[in-house]
Structure 1
Amino acid sequence: MDKARDMVREKRAVITALGAMSGTSLDGVDAAVLRTDGVTIHGFGPHDYRAYTDGERDVLRAALGHWHGPALDPATRVVMDAHTALLGRFAAVDLVGFHGQTVAHAPRLQGTLQLGDGAALARALDRPVVWDFRSADVELGGEGAPLAPFFHFACAKWMGADGPVAFLNLGGVGNLTWVDPAAVRPEDEGALLAFDTGPANAPINDLIQARRGVPFDAGGRIASSGTVEAGALELFLAEPYFARIPPKSLDRNDFAEMVGLVGELSDADAAATLTAMCAAGVAEAMQHCPRPPGQVLVTGGGRHNPVLMKMLDVSLDCPVRPVEAVGLDGDMLEAQAFAFLAVRVARGLPTSCPGTTGVRAAVGGGTVSYP
């Protein structure tokens, strides 16, 4: 284990890091290997996925919005069991980045809460584990989210972008990262602007689960036969959040009333309207970009929804493409991001900055636990 400590602290060494992400869509755990020195992407490795069962998803959903109480213990067991089983499949890994499962996020009030014990995971995997990525940022006045932008900056460099580009992650909540690849470091002033755009898949998933008993609108098939309710969309866009200057972030349930706005609509019309709300939130967000990006690269589960992608294509003034168009993996980008961030934490490099979370100064979050 001393060798592992020395390797992660060696500034120039390329580390084989394994990142894991369990998002607010509550679909399952993604895990992916990345080779990096914490600055440059040197290669992508194997990846895997472990879906939550319906029962596990119910346990996690019951914990949402809770800061303490009896709902958290069973949810933590689900998170730990799923991650231990999935991450244990990977060999020849130097370091693990463990995000855990966000169940509550209110940085200006109570903070941010991710379930999971990185120290216990380090013992179970016999590998160093970096975890608790968000707390330090929140303690210094930041939103604690989004955290993937520093990796997006590295991705823009890796793909050879010659002008501003935007990464749009459509998970449970949507978030946008505007990148200027001409900057030297992600923490440099003007290099990044990142913030949550609004709800994405979470309200659609919750609606479909409640009405149809399935976890999501596969391929946007339900929404594709519906009509958008303009009045509900107008009420949605009147929310004060959209007028706030970024950086800014959301909890998964901050827009829970959206489902109420479509409560009287048919399944198809309700799904179409919630999907349009997601796209409209992104269109509003684009107005905050310092300069228009040359393209918007979409990652996360939302890019598999052709109805949503078409709405984005119509709404935005630049090409909208899945990240696969530039050689990245949109299913694993978030997991790769936490592999990247794990190496940065281990080496004392910042993981967020004023342009990404509103934190007062560039800060490196995270805790490193050794077996």
Structure 2
Amino acid sequence: MLVMGYMSGTSLDGVDVAMIETDGERIEAFGPTAIIPFTSAERTIIEQATRDALAWNGYGAVPSSFDPASDLIVRLHVEVGERVIAEAGCRPALIGFHGQTLLHRPERGLSVQIGDPRMLADALGVPVVAQMRQDDLRAGGQGAPLVPVYHAALADYLGLTRPVAFLNVGGVANLTWVGAEGTLVAFDTGPGNGLIDQVVQARGAGRYDDGGRFAAAGSVDAEILARLLAHDYFRGEGAKSLDRYDFPLDWAATCSLEDAAATLTAFTAEAVALAARMLPAPPECWIICGGGSHNPALMAALRDRLGTCRTADDIALRSDFIEAEAMAFLAARSLQGLPLTFPGTTGVAAPLTGGQLWYPVCNTK
């Protein structure tokens, strides 16, 4: 079955889309991909909705900024989706739609993703599976990470020696450990690129630390790093997840941009190293994917702390589109009632399916 998946992550880079051929258990083939970057004006709309979500925190009336941000997300998904459909020469049988996360509070069973699945289904004329976190949250799970079962499928597809670990470095970093018997252990390790991006943007120095040049030119502040690593999040064991805004950045004003970037890069790597100690066995190899895989300073820090690391691109995967592919894979699993989350990935009591299905009702394509 040809399935299209989307991801618009908390790094606010844009909307990624990818097609794969899958039955929800195996990957048969990879189809076309595309990304539509957010313009400055579009990013401002989503950032405002995110700020309002953090202030709202799930209490009281939903902020009015959610609606225009949601409409924008759907419009961009339709635009980039039509582009990939044209390249494929046919419409997919199904779409996996994650939506744009504004707030993640798993301890309260709350995770907010905007974007109307029915509007997307109607616009593209294709059934859409969305809201894939909610069943897990209602069952007491963390609702995240969602991608581990797809990481396991990638390990099968490539015949990787196990145990193997996938580390996705987006706004937040999360890992998946795939054991020899298919056992999955997964959780958010801590910050990814998000905090570095925030500091760079606050200084008017761009969108992100391009090529890791700021971090490479700076020095790690050991005292600040120790304070960051003392956060309660790192004391928890087992399945756990977080919001990219869970760590303070008030200290960054006391540092140069270069030293702040160096310290935050070290923070991301040290948090992963702490997470590695919680795994059942050391992985044979770490596969790094997401935006962080393109940052030489971060990759050097990870290799220093983890040992053998390869980027997803190194092994012929599409690093920037793995999460979009995963949404397609999860949609296919949802359609068949297969589990999306597991005790070892979200802490849910038993393997659990999820997602809701929206059929198009207004489109004759």
Please give the residue correspondences for 1:186-205 in structure 2 after superposition, counting only pairs within 5 Å. Answer: 191-205=183-197
Quote the residue 1:10 is aligned against. Answer: none
Quote the residue 2:332 is aligned against. Answer: 343
Please give the residue correspondences for 1:303-314 in structure 2 after superposition, counting only pairs within 5 Å. Answer: 303-314=293-304
Please give the residue correspondences for 1:209-224 in structure 2 after superposition, counting only pairs within 5 Å. Answer: 209-224=201-216
> Greater CA deviation, 214-223 or 131-140?
214-223
**SS state of the match for residue 89, structure 1?**
helix
Distance 2:271 2:260 in 1: 17
CA offset digits 1:175-221 (Å, max 9, x no partner): 000001433xxxxxxx1000000011111111111102521111111
The percentage of aligned residue pairs carrying the same residue is: 45
Distance 2:148 2:21 in 1: 18
Alpha-carbon offset, residue 321 of structure 1 = 1.0
Q: Which letter maps to 1:134?
A: R
The question of 1:100 aligning with 2:86 is answered: no
Please give the residue correspondences for 1:78-93 in structure 2 after superposition, counting only pairs within 5 Å. Answer: 78-91=72-85, 92=90, 93=92
Quote the residue 1:40 is aligned against. Answer: 26
**SS state of the match for residue 174, structure 1?**
strand
**SS state of the match for residue 144, structure 1?**
coil
Alpha-carbon offset, residue 119 of structure 1 = 1.2
* Distance change (3 Å), C-alpha of 1:115 and 1:276: same
**SS state of the match for residue 320, structure 2?**
coil
**SS state of the match for residue 141, structure 2?**
coil
Whether the aligned pair in 1 keeps the contact of 2:96 and 2:327 (CA below 8 Å) is: yes
Runs of 4+ displaced beyond 3 Å: none
Unaligned runs of 5+ in 1: 1-14, 184-190
Please give the residue correspondences for 1:101-116 in structure 2 after superposition, counting only pairs within 5 Å. Answer: 101-116=100-115
Please give the residue correspondences for 1:156-171 in structure 2 after superposition, counting only pairs within 5 Å. Answer: 156-171=155-170
Q: Which letter maps to 2:318?
A: D
> Greater CA deviation, 151-160 or 87-96?
87-96
The question of 1:247 aligning with 2:246 is answered: no
Quote the residue 2:126 is aligned against. Answer: 127
Distance 2:192 2:127 in 1: 33
Quote the residue 1:320 is aligned against. Answer: 309
Distance 1:71 1:204 in 2: 26
2:261 to 260, 271, 277: 271
CA offset digits 1:326-367 (Å, max 9, x no partner): 221101100000010000001111100111000111111101
Alpha-carbon offset, residue 281 of structure 1 = 0.6
Distance 2:195 2:296 in 1: 17
Q: Which letter maps to 2:256?
A: S
Q: Which letter maps to 1:146?
A: P
**SS state of the match for residue 42, structure 1?**
strand
**SS state of the match for residue 325, structure 1?**
helix
Distance 1:369 1:128 in 2: 6
Distance 1:166 1:341 in 2: 19
Alpha-carbon offset, residue 162 of structure 1 = 2.7
Distance 1:294 1:274 in 2: 27
Alpha-carbon offset, residue 243 of structure 1 = 1.5
**SS state of the match for residue 90, structure 1?**
helix
Please give the residue correspondences for 1:351-362 in structure 2 after superposition, counting only pairs within 5 Å. Answer: 351-362=340-351
Q: Which letter maps to 2:295?
A: N
Distance 1:131 1:366 in 2: 5
Q: Which letter maps to 2:328?
A: A
Whether the aligned pair in 1 keeps the contact of 2:199 and 2:252 (CA below 8 Å) is: no
**SS state of the match for residue 88, structure 1?**
helix
1:52 to 38, 53, 70: 38
TM-score by length of 1: 0.92
> Greater CA deviation, 26-35 or 88-97?
88-97
Q: Which letter maps to 2:44?
A: D
Backbone CA RMSD of aligned residues: 1.1
Distance 1:246 1:214 in 2: 36
Q: Which letter maps to 1:353?
A: F
Distance 2:322 2:45 in 1: 26
Q: Tell me the number of residue pairs that the alignment of Structure 1 and Structure 2 aligns.
A: 347
Unaligned runs of 5+ in 2: 361-365
**SS state of the match for residue 278, structure 2?**
coil
Distance 2:46 2:109 in 1: 20
Alpha-carbon offset, residue 110 of structure 1 = 4.9
Quote the residue 1:287 is aligned against. Answer: 277
Distance 1:200 1:325 in 2: 20
Distance 1:276 1:297 in 2: 19
Whether the aligned pair in 2 keeps the contact of 1:29 and 1:50 (CA below 8 Å) is: yes
The question of 1:74 aligning with 2:65 is answered: no
* Distance change (3 Å), C-alpha of 1:366 and 1:138: same
Q: Which letter maps to 2:45?
A: V
Distance 1:284 1:83 in 2: 36
